[in-house]
Amino acid sequence: MDSEERITNAVLRKEVDRVPTFESLIDEKVIESITPGGTLDEFIYKMDIDGVVVSPDYNKEEIGPNVFKDEWGNTIEYTSEKTPISKGCINTLDDFKNFESPDPKAPYRFKTLENAVKRHSGKKSIIVHMNDVLSIPRNLLGYENLFINIASNPDLIKELIKFSVEYNLSLAEEVVKRGVRIIMTGDDYAYGKGLLMSPRSFEELFYPGFCRVIKGFKELGLLVIKHSDGNIWPILDKFVDAGIDCIDPVEPTAGMDIKTIKEIYGNRISIKGNVDCSLTLTFGTREQVREETLKCLKDGAPGNGFILSSSNSIHSGVKPENYITMLETLKEFGNYPLNFL
């Protein structure tokens, strides 16, 4: 069974030969430490990782050290983890009415994806990172204005959500044309202690659009991995009811638990996660990583429908030897039929 089939079957909760693994991000410092001079692609093949995540391409202009202006008109600043922080470019409904969005079908929008298809099709699973209905409003408004407008100007939020649905479905149409079957929506609805908004705000403002965009993805034939950090227990039912295929990354430090999710939702969705990258992979010993990886396998792997990964990403703080240990433990115990039960 090749990696492409392995991940597709895992997302569909079908039988696989072994538990697959992939990460939404593997920091170049970790790659360099493990495979000096190697590229991400070379790393994925050497370490027998099953999937590669790519994103649509957007042009940006550098206007200062680590500060750029992007096609959306946003000023974005990159942190040491290369995570973009958007300052926002919209404040009012009138601003949005005059807003010109980047063309989702621009010829260069999918160059990275097209190159990935050429390199990996039939060998590795290609997962396209996209959005559902929170990230675009957040980026266009900025975090602070997003939450202010949720409370004070819900009409603006509704218009941005409607736009998000239409824009992401336009992107998805192009993704499908290029032969991709799996997407991951990266919108975070929670943090460690709970939701970023009230459950009522989520249900009244965001959930109708969330259902529309997930339905649209499915109608295009896509499998949907829903990513959200944080404690998403209050809205996990809603995610599942909307028709997602897989939940990621089941953040353990936020009170999320693979075993419980498997017991409640395992007949409806697959699960991806969740070796803790904030503590165990970053500060733990190799033995601790081995123990936690084995626990994840025991909790998630029985009955199929499981993808092993970190609890978010392999960021620059992850000890390279710990990531290696996680992958070695998977190789030792992740084959079906499972030998540790």
Has residue 61 been placed in a domain? no
Burial of 228 (0-12, 13-18, 19+ CB in 10 A): buried
Has residue 174 been placed in a domain? yes
Cα–Cα nearest to 335, from 20, 124, 19: 19
Q: 205: how many CB neighbours lie within 10 A of its CB?
A: 22
Has residue 146 been placed in a domain? yes
| Distance separating alpha carbons of residues 262 and 240, to the nearest angstrom | 12
Residues 6+ apart with CB under 8 A from 184: 24, 53, 127, 128, 129, 130, 224, 225, 226, 227, 248
What is the tens place of the pLDDT at every residue in 89-139?
999 999 999 999 999 999 899 999 999 999 999 999 999 999 999 999 999
Q: Are 293 and 329 in contact (CB under 8 A)?
A: yes
For residue 66, the model assigns a pLDDT of: 84
Has residue 79 been placed in a domain? no
For residue 341, the model assigns a pLDDT of: 67
| Distance separating alpha carbons of residues 81 and 283, to the nearest angstrom | 17
Q: How many domains does the chain have?
A: 1
Has residue 45 been placed in a domain? yes
| Distance separating alpha carbons of residues 182 and 165, to the nearest angstrom | 18
For residue 286, the model assigns a pLDDT of: 98
Has residue 214 been placed in a domain? yes
| Distance separating alpha carbons of residues 251 and 19, to the nearest angstrom | 19
Look at the block and give the residue holding tokens 């990230």: 135
For residue 340, the model assigns a pLDDT of: 78
Has residue 136 been placed in a domain? yes
Burial of 103 (0-12, 13-18, 19+ CB in 10 A): exposed
Boundaries of domain holding 329: 3-54+93-333
| Distance separating alpha carbons of residues 107 and 38, to the nearest angstrom | 29
For residue 185, the model assigns a pLDDT of: 98
Cα–Cα distances in Å, from 110 out to 53, 55, 62, 115?
A: 13, 8, 21, 9
Beta pairing, strands 306-310 & 270-275? parallel
Residue 9: CATH number of its domain? 3.20.20.210
Which stretches in the chain have pLDDT values below 70? 80-83, 341
As given in the structure block, the two tokens for residue 235 are 């809205």
| Omega before residue 337 within 30° of 0, cis | yes
For residue 80, the model assigns a pLDDT of: 67
Has residue 160 been placed in a domain? yes
Beta pairing, strands 270-275 & 223-227? unpaired
Q: Are 266 and 225 in contact (CB under 8 A)?
A: no
Nearest-10 crossing angle of helices 154-177, 207-219 = 10
Please list the residues that pair with 127 across neighbouring strands.
53, 182
| Omega before residue 267 within 30° of 0, cis | no
For residue 170, the model assigns a pLDDT of: 98
Sign (positive or negative) of CA dihedral 263, 264, 270, 272: negative
